Amino acid sequence: MISADKDTIAAVSTPIGFGGIGIVRISGCGSAAIARKVFRTSAPRVTAETHQTSKRISKEIIPRRLQYGYIVDPENPAVFNEVLMAYMPSPNSYTREDVIEIQSHGGMAALKTLLEIVLRSGARLADPGEFTRRAYLNGRIDLSQAEAVIDIIQAKTDASLRIANRNLEGEIGEAVREMKKILLEIQVVLEAHIEFPEDIEGKLDEQEIRSKLSREVLGPISAVLEGYKHGHLLREGVRIVILGRPNVGKSCMLNRILQRERAIVTSYPGTTRDSIEESISLFGLPAVIVDTAGWRNTNDPVEKIGIDRTKALSQNADLILFMVDAGTGVVPEDEDIFMQIQNKEKILIVNKADLLTGEPNINIPERWSHSGVLFTSAMFGHGIENMKEWIYKTLMSSGNLHEVEVVPNLRQKNLLERAQRALEGVLKNLSDQLHPELIAIDIKEAMDALGEITGDTVKPDIIDEIFSRFCIGK
Ligand code: GDP
């Protein structure tokens, strides 16, 4: 394992802005020395004897104890912050280095002053994600766990947090290390046949290799990939697209669901020319809700671009809210839209139900309504809660959304697929009785792909890319 930089780094680890408390974190071999320089157990008095007083009350930095005191600017004792400070010596810390965490009163000025004092006392400002990067470089976590840290920070719902927590526990890394162990065993057998063919009795036991690969590597890879299929919806959010002719009330409905005026609502058809996306939590389920440009035949080139985008969005939707207008009833243009989304999971919504008087007569074709029809009034807020429950139930019963144990992210999924392809090549080459040397090439390729998941064989630019997604202070 490469060892991390020798520099001592520091950053504000809490969000910038107003807050009850804020934390400055310091990591590296100089952390304790910096703390000794700036920490005092009581406030300095700004008098002639200040210097002496400060010296007298300077105390030892005690490991793993929250110590109350003051951070004092060594160059100007009049500047100080009241703090709680914790010292976590190496290797039992987030980065495995000596770590100091200083909790001070929150707010921009207090934290800026505190950070400046620390930087002037021997630390340099940390890069984004550098603390977690050091945890990875020092071998405390693997790359899949580092990625889970970003997921935890970004998790918007209970379900995505649960997935991220399991990945932080190292479930993916563990599964991958198991697979690599088996591949290494196979590699050793192959190497023996390549290097010392004369010393080895008999031919390569291709049956044995084949069954080991299928049972202990390809099987588990398929299981984790299956986890991606189900779990990425929980991680990234299901995509719910509101679709319908112009003016049926799509934007009004988006605003109702979000409970704020996100989209412009007018009585002029064609106002929404581009799509609008917003994240919501639907009873704990992460979802992205998309308001689309009204779908109709038009010669307006700008509107046409919007409608093409709408068509593409509807194809990628996990669920479509297909909306028709109770005021006009179903018209031929609605039928055109329906034809194009026949095979998609959808809910039929008759909006503007407030306009209905007496017996509704909206001519819903028989084949449209087999899964039921919902009547709403986006304008008056009627039927919205019922609709949300319906959406949730439809998504949960679609079979794509049950919680699975291990959920890889897109990068990890692509690498698993790369390993899968290489191993399928191995199976074929075994059947074709190719030379062990050729078989070993694909085994190596699979091991490299798996190694990139945990970070054992990953290229530096990929590591940079992953950690650039972190914020400063993490
Ligand atoms: P979009 O083009 O489908 O996005 O439709 P908008 O949300 O912009 O709404 C078009 C018009 O229909 C606006 O004048 C809205 O006030 C009106 N509208 C939307 N929802 C309702 C509703 O539930 N009832 C009634 N009566 N009017 C509505």
Measure 354 CA to ligand 1 centroid, in angstroms.
11
CATH code 3.40.50.300 region(s) in the chain:
152-455
Determine contact, residues 374/391, Cβ cutoff 8 Å. no
Q: What is the mean pLDDT of residues 79-107?
A: 93
For the Cβ of 69 lying below 6 angstroms from any atom of ligand 1, the answer is: no
CATH code 3.30.1360.120 region(s) in the chain:
9-142
User: What H or E segment, with its residue span, contains residue 114?
Assistant: helix 108-120
Nearest-CA residue for ligand 1 atom 18 is: 249
CATH code given to domain 9-142: 3.30.1360.120
Give the ranges where 324-454 is alpha helix by DSSP (H). 332-340, 384-396, 410-431, 436-454
| Number of C-beta neighbours around residue 354 at 10 A | 16
Lowest-confidence region among 222-236, 432-446, 450-464: 222-236
Mutation pick for ligand 1 pocket among 253, 256, 265 (CB with most ligand atoms within 8 Å) = 265
Model confidence pTM above 0.75? no
For the Cβ of 247 lying below 6 angstroms from any atom of ligand 1, the answer is: yes
- Tokens at 358, concatenated: 């007496």
**For residue 425, pLDDT beyond 80:** yes
Nearest in space to 142 (alpha carbons), one of 472, 444, 466: 466
**Residue 81, helix vs strand vs coil:** strand
DSSP-derived pairing of the beta strands 285-291 and 9-12: unpaired
**Residue 16, helix vs strand vs coil:** coil
Q: What is the mean pLDDT of residues 80-109?
A: 94
For the Cβ of 246 lying below 6 angstroms from any atom of ligand 1, the answer is: yes
| Spatial distance between the Cα atoms of 196 and 244, rounded to a whole number of angstroms | 70
Q: What is the mean pLDDT of residues 18-30?
A: 93
Band of pLDDT at residue 301, cut at 50, 70 and 90: confident
**Amino acid letter at 141?**
I
Check residue 59 and give its pLDDT: 57
| Number of C-beta neighbours around residue 210 at 10 A | 15
Superfamily of domain 152-455: P-loop containing nucleotide triphosphate hydrolases (3.40.50.300)
Q: Determine whether 407 is exposed, middle or buried from the number of CB atoms within 10 Å of its CB (0-12, 13-18, 19+).
A: buried
